[in-house]
Amino acid sequence: SQQGEEDPQALSIQEGENATMNCSYKTSINNLQWYRQNSGRGLVHLILIRSNEREKHSGRLRVTLDTSKKSSSLLITASRAADTASYFCATERGGVGTASKLTFGTGTRLQVTL
């Protein structure tokens, strides 16, 4: 099964509303990252939250991390049509000086309509 599973798989909201996406994972992690992908394009890093952090903000983005529940949420406030994209969470394990891999979830497809 997926290391990162997201829900909902698809979300449709109107411009100005808030969008919340959730991500669950199964193993211990160093950090959890959220990425955005426009259709057929590369993934763009949005925000990284370390395992010892509980909440982080970046502009209109708010990320929470609950390591006891192995879950994270991404909140986009005051959404815009330009926020329409797929959003992925990715978990990272491994220590400093070693390399491991980012494991991506299944993604949430967000549609923001005018």
Least distance from C-beta 104 to another protein, angstroms? Answer: 5
Closest CB to another protein among residues 48, 75: 48
Least distance from C-beta 31 to another protein, angstroms? Answer: 8
Strand partners for 11 = 110
Phi, psi of 3 (to 5 degrees): -65, -45
For 7, other C-beta atoms within 10 Å of its C-beta total 13
Binding site for another protein (CB under 8 A): 2, 30-31, 33, 35, 40-45, 48, 88, 90, 92, 94-107
